């Protein structure tokens, strides 16, 4: 008997998509406000914070578009459908983020070396930063409940939290400029935000390469899955196990399953196949699984790769 936990709704949940869409609207609007504010105030920190919010906005756009693209049916040419669209979008996103963060870092260092070259309007900078802080706080509140049950919403929640920290850094820099007139505070805040962007972009790149290399999804214990399948009555061996993912949250599983002769003789292979697929879907959140049911004598003649 297996105790199957319900699989998370993730991006496929209509309520999760709605919350993500609302959060995207807030993030996108504030990002535009920050870009305009950066132009008007001359603040590099505001521009860096806008780039930071771009990381969230682009990730949400990719996830929402991918959910629609992934719904397109597979065809004879793209037999797995279009779920890899999210991966290619994430690759573009990561490259853009690294370029943006690099530019902000170079510009910030330049301003630190020549602080007299730029004058920043601290009051307007503070107003725009406070708007960003409030918007991020609202987004976190909207996502706070759903993030407990959805890994996709959890990711968005943590990214919004990072934006909130970035907005707080800009507020501190604005106050310093208003009180003391010390302009390097803006450059320091921009460097802090750029330092927050780089690790996230690198992490995204690593995830993309992992998917394209068809590595097992992070956190997937192949040995645990194999043992879970072996616990079924009639299963005597599991080999040639392969686990990869089409995109985040879309793992694929295949394996050869050796069964007892009595099960095949009794016509139980169809029921076993259905049980194994339900096991992968419910307990490990693997919706696409393929099993080759074979008798023990066939398995003995076949080279095993895993």
Nearest to 171 by CA among 181, 157, 186, 192: 186
Helix (H, G, I), strand (E, B) or coil at 267: coil
pLDDT confidence bin for 4, thresholds 50/70/90: very low
Place of tokens 């505001």: 46
First-last CA distance in the chain? 26
Domains of the chain, CATH where assigned: 10-212 (1.20.1510.10), 222-300 (3.30.70.1350)
Which residue(s) pair with 244 in the sheet?
252
| pLDDT at 179 (0 to 100) | 93
Average pLDDT over residues 108-126: 86
Task: Say how far apart CA 217 and CA 247 lie, in whole Å.
Answer: 9
CB 293 within 8 A of CB 19: no
At 128-172, the pLDDT tens digits run: 999 989 988 888 888 777 666 555 556 667 777 878 888 899 999
pLDDT band at residue 62 under the 50/70/90 scheme = low
Residue 191 to residues 44, 186, 259, Cα–Cα distance (Å): 9, 9, 60
Angle subtended at Cα 171 by Cα 169 and Cα 96, rounded to the nearest 5 degrees: 50
Longest distance between any two alpha carbons in the chain, whole Å: 86
Q: pTM for this structure?
A: 0.69
Compute the average pLDDT of residues 107-114: 88
């Amino acid at each position: 008997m297996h105790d199957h936990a319900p699989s998370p709704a993730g991006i496929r949940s209509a309520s999760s998509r709605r919350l993500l869409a609302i959060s995207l609207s807030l993030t996108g609007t504030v990002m535009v406000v920050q870009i305009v504010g950066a132009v008007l105030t001359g603040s590099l920190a505001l521009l860096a914070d806008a780039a930071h919010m771009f990381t969230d906005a682009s990730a949400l756009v990719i996830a929402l578009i991918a959910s629609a693209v992934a719904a397109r049916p597979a065809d004879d040419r793209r037999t797995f459908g279009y779920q890899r669209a999210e991966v290619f979008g994430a690759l573009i996103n990561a490259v853009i983020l690294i370029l943006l963060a690099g530019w902000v870092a170079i510009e910030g260092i330049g301003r630190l070396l020549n602080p007299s070259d730029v004058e920043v309007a601290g009051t307007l900078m503070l107003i725009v930063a406070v708007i960003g802080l409030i918007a991020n706080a609202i987004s976190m509140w909207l996502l706070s409940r759903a993030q407990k049950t959805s890994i996709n919403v959890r990711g968005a929640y943590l990214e919004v939290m990072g934006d909130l920290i970035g907005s707080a850094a800009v507020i501190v820099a604005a106050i310093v400029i208003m009180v003391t007139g010390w302009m390097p505070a803006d450059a320091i805040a921009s460097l802090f935000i750029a330092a927050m962007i780089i690790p996230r972009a690198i992490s995204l790149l690593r995830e993309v390469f992992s998917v394209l290399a068809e590595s097992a999804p992070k956190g997937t214990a192949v040995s645990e899955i194999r043992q879970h399948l072996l616990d079924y009555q009639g299963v005597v061996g599991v080999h040639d196990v392969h686990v990869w993912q089409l995109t985040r949250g879309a793992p694929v599983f295949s394996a050869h399953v050796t069964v007892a002769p009595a099960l095949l003789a009794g016509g139980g292979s169809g029921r076993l196949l259905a049980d194994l697929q339900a096991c992968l879907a419910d307990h490990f959140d693997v919706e696409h699984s393929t099993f080759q049911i074979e008798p023990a004598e066939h398995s003995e003649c076949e080279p095993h790769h895993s």
